Amino acid sequence: MPTLLVTGGCGFIGSNFVRHLLATDPATQIINFDALTYAGNLANLTDVVKHPRYTFVRGDVTDREQVRAAMGRGVTDVIHFAAESHVDRSIQDSGPFLKTNVIGTQVLLDAAREFGVKRYVQVSTDEVYGSLGDTGLFTEHTPLHPNSPYSASKAAADLLVQAYQHTFGLHAVITRCSNNYGPYQFPEKLIPLFVSNLLADQQVPVYGDGMQVRDWIHVLDHCRGVEAAWRKGRSGEVYNFGGRCEKANLHLTHLLLELLGKPKSLIKYVADRLGHDRRYAIDCTKAERELGWAPQVPFETGLRETIEWYRANAAWVAAIKNKDYLAYYEKQYGGR
Ligand code: NAD
Ligand code: DAU
């Protein structure tokens, strides 16, 4: 029976992945290793906390001894989601991004070698490819051209993974996905921020002219892709995942206003993000061909369900926005 170390399992994608795998794979033990930073939330997994194949370990991927202790629980496979993930925060302060995303990956790779891990998956991002013009798609052969401190730290981590695969023969696969949306996404990212603000009749800050384009994919489609890469990916290969769903931010904002029945006056144009990437779009034919994967959730269906999830989970959003969830950690763990 595989014992899978999932790092960052208390975040948005990691928690969706843990729930998905527990529901669909009766043979895998999951150890969720998460530092519980501001983005990690135990409330994202309250429904599985007592599951017999699930264990939570609080730990930091940059801490060698904590990582080794977790690996020593019989880990056979690793899926590395843990990261500092928000571009705007990386522009404010790149330090935590270099530490967690680069050093954390190095520590994990060393431990994977030491403990003879069979399969290692690095969850990366399409942002490592930089920005596209009006046409074209990112393929796995697009040269790396990261533009933000976040994407630079993710690209550096990808290069380390490739170096460990080449030098030490570690079985390692890299996935690069476009923009995810769905339940449990921290309300600093566009869709959960805008939906939660609009539900409360608050304004939504559109950066610059709002004509930047992102390729949206439902988080469960991404999780299924990561799972396929783990099970079937060839060592040393990169697999792109995307939703074939390009939307300009402003058009997406108009769609959200329409679905929520809110007026355009709630749009607030604000200063642009520094170095803002103009367009991302993914060619995911390699993953379709080699992994038998394809995005399944139609965008409007997924978006409507996501809006309803945020409406039904207003308390989850409120606890984050008023930082109540941090007090919960203080009580549970005596400080962060
Ligand atoms: P998130 O910010 O919601 O969650 C990150 C998780 O990692 C949190 O639970 C946090 O506590 C944990 N973490 C952070 N630093 C840690 C450390 N030092 N040690 C252990 N745990 C730590 O992020 P997300 O949106 O779920 O993204 C997960 C991964 O997917 C990231 O690697 C990100 O780069 C990648 N990704 C995200 C998207 C997206 O649209 N959100 C798209 C493609 C790829
Ligand atoms: O492409 C994958 C990446 O998608 C992941 O690697 C990142 O972890 C994830 O955060 C996301 O990065 P983006 O920067 O694209 O996502 P974000 O939700 O921050 O912004 C989406 C777009 O919306 C982007 O063009 C900036 C814009 N935006 C964002 C926010 C938060 C606004 O106009 N206003 C906002 O308030």
Q: How many CB atoms lie within 10 A of CB 13?
A: 23
Tell whether ligand 1 has an atom less than 6 A from the beta carbon of residue 82: yes
Instruction: Tell me the per-residue pLDDT of 143-169, one tens digit each, with 9 for 90 and over.
Output: 999 999 999 999 999 999 999 999 999
Which ligand 2 atom sits nearest the alpha carbon of residue 212? 25
Give the pLDDT of residue 323. Answer: 80
Catalytic annotation present for 150: yes
Instruction: Give the separation between CA 201 and CA 29, rounded to whole angstroms.
Output: 43
* Amino acid occupying residue 11: G
Residue 206 is given by DSSP the state E
C-alpha span between 237 and 175 (Å, rounded):
9
Residue 47 tokens, joined: 């429904």
Report the atom number in ligand 1 closest to the C-alpha of 80.
32
Beta-ladder partners of 7 = 33, 80
pLDDT digits (tens, 9 = 90+) for 115-136: 999 999 999 999 999 999 999 9
Rg from Cα positions in the chain: 19
The pLDDT value given to residue 222: 99
Whichever domain contains 27, its CATH number is: 3.40.50.720
Phi, psi of 54 (to 5 degrees): -125, 135
Q: Domain span at residue 157? A: 3-186+217-244+278-296+325-333
- 0.95 exceeded by pTM: yes
Instruction: Decide whether any atom of ligand 1 lies within 6 Å of the 146 Cβ.
Output: no
Cα 100 to middle of ligand 1, angstroms: 10
Average pLDDT over residues 54-70: 98
Looking at residue 324, its pLDDT comes to 73
Cα 80 from Cα 191, distance rounded (Å): 24
219 C-alpha to center of ligand 1: Å? 13
User: Is the per-residue pLDDT at 232 higher than 50?
Assistant: yes
What is the tens place of the pLDDT at every residue in 292-323? 999 999 999 999 999 999 999 999 999 999 88
pLDDT of residue 336: 45
Average pLDDT, integer, range 194-223: 98
Burial pattern 262-276, b for ≥16 Cβ within 10 A else e, equals beeebbeeeeeeeeb
Per-residue pLDDT tens over the stretch 71-97? 999 999 999 999 999 999 999 999 999
CA–CA gap between residue 32 and residue 51 (Å, rounded) = 12
- In this predicted structure, the answer to whether residue 325 has a pLDDT above a threshold of 80 is no
Look at residue 169 and tell me if it is in a domain.
yes
| 104 pLDDT above the threshold of 70 | yes
Distances (CA, A) of 86 to 175, 236, 311: 18, 27, 23
CA pair distance 203, 212, nearest whole angstrom: 19
Whether residue 96 lies inside any domain: the answer is yes
Does any ligand 1 atom lie closer than 6 A to the CB of residue 12? yes
Tokens (6 digits) for 76? 């056979």
8 C-alpha vs ligand 1 centroid, how far in Å? 6
Domain contains 267: no
Answer whether residue 82 is part of any domain.
Answer: yes
- Across the chain, what does the average pLDDT equal? 96
From CA 277, how far away is CA 133, in angstroms rounded?
10
The answer to whether residue 68 is domain-embedded is yes
207 falls within a domain:
no
Looking at ligand 2, which residue's alpha carbon is closest to its atom 34? 206
Cα maximum dimension of the chain? 57
Q: Which of 96, 91, 193 is nearest to 147 (CA)?
A: 91
209 in Cβ contact with 273 (< 8 Å): no
Task: Pick from 190, 218, 221, 321 the residue to mutate for probing ligand 2's pocket: most ligand atoms within 8 Å of its CB.
Answer: 190
- Catalytic, 126? Answer yes
- Give the number of other Cβ atoms within 10 Å of residue 24's Cβ: 11
Within 13 A of 254's CA, how many CA atoms are on the CB side?
Answer: 6
Q: How many domains does the chain have?
A: 1
User: 302 lies in a domain?
Assistant: no
- The catalytic position among 60, 126, 227, 277 is 126
Calculate how far, in angstroms, residue 86's C-alpha sits from the geometric centre of ligand 2. Answer: 7
For residue 87, give every residue at least 6 positions away whose Cβ sits within 8 Å of its Cβ, in sequence order, or none: 127, 148, 150, 151, 273
Best probe residue, ligand 2, of 202, 207, 247 (max atoms within 8 Å of C-beta):
207
In this predicted structure, what is the pLDDT of residue 42? Answer: 96
Q: What is the mean pLDDT of residues 186-215?
A: 98
Question: Is 127 one of the catalytic residues?
Answer: yes
Average pLDDT, stretch 57-72? 98
Does residue 11's CB lie within 6 angstroms of at least one atom of ligand 1? yes
Cβ pair 154, 124 in contact under 8 A: yes
